[in-house]
Amino acid sequence: MQNWKRTLALVSLIAFLSGALFAGGNLLVNALASSAGKVTGRPANIPAAYAQPNPGPDTVADIVSNAGPAVVKIDVSKTVNGAFDPFFNDPFFRQFFSSPFAFRQPFKREEHGLGSGFIITSDGSILTNEHVIDGAQKIEVTIAGRDKPLPARVTGSDYDLDLAVLKVDAGGDLPTLSLGDSDQVKVGSWVVAIGNPYGLDHTVTVGVVSAKGRPVQVENRSYKNLLQTDAAINPGNSGGPLLNLAGEVIGINTAVAAQAQGIGFAIPINTVKSVLAELLSKGHLSRPWLGVQVQPLDEQLTSSFGLESTEGALVAGVVSGSPADKAGFQQGDVILKIDGQQIRNPDDLVNYVKGLQIGQRIVVLVQRQGKTLNLPLEIKEKPAQQ
């Protein structure tokens, strides 16, 4: 009986202390709120433009509910040519024929791919990645609430930025997503990705922005300025939106590091906004083009070419039919100046050419086999996928 009474007393004491701590915590919070005048939901030293809405238990659910209907699934298909050898995989025939390829028969097969996108205009314009629809002969878009997929056509695309705009005729009044400001996004900000990984419609993943300004090489594409996120991004997510807690698009999900976990990348939406008007009006982006492939000089190359300095851009290749080709550029030339402007490395060259106008005439100073030459040429528009 005494043990039971001591236990009851101990429990009562613990309950009393817990209540006191809870009450004291409330008093402290109330006192802080009172002294500040009001609770703003963010520290006073953080500008309002950088602040995120206070997340609650239903924040992500609300974002998905509002944004989800504007996220679409993109199915693409194309016919490719191939060859089939009926004997090549048969061990019996392989032992008699030294060249089984003599029996190869041509055939055609249909390849399918999928990706994501999101609606940006109520009359059916959709943003996605160029690599999602690259080479597609048939594109179908599935919109939430529609009985069947709708045919889509490409109205604009850019290989370098990996952007494409599709158009569907859905009768108007489609749900759309608002484009945010990716420059205001901070590392550590919460983000939500919606897409169709592996064909699983409207899959939602949540994470943070892990880094900004990432350069990434994916096959032949060089991305200069990507957002890195740990929100899960998988095949099929490409082209889908990366959203902030206000439900605004701050990136287009684009690439995933196949050999890593929690490392995905998105094109900043401000990159898209800077070219969207031209993409919608012209269907492509006009870029000035020289037509040379360049690489930096190092001490070994400088010695090999008999140069006095490592400054300049070494011409590693000249594109046939390009302005540089017509002007007489050769592999091994070193570009030193353009219109008197010093070119110290390939980045200088790229940045300088970006600022030129199509049709503009320039004079390029190059060094070739110990001699300097002035090569005049006219800047042309860069061909698609060049």
Residues involved in catalysis: 131, 162, 238
Give the contacts of 192 (CB within 8 A, at least 6 positions apart). 60, 63, 64, 67, 204, 205, 206, 231, 242, 243, 244, 245
Nearest to 78 by CA among 115, 107, 111: 111
Beta bridge partners of 73: 116, 142
Two tokens at 72? 């679409």
Give the residues across from 380 on adjacent strands.
289
The two structure tokens encoding residue 186: 């901070």
Encoding tokens for residue 267? Answer: 């094109």
* Number of Cβ atoms within 10 Å of the Cβ of 227: 28
CA-to-CA distance for 209 and 264, rounded, in angstroms? 10
Largest CA distance in the chain: 108
Q: Give first-to-last CA distance, the chain, whole Å.
A: 90
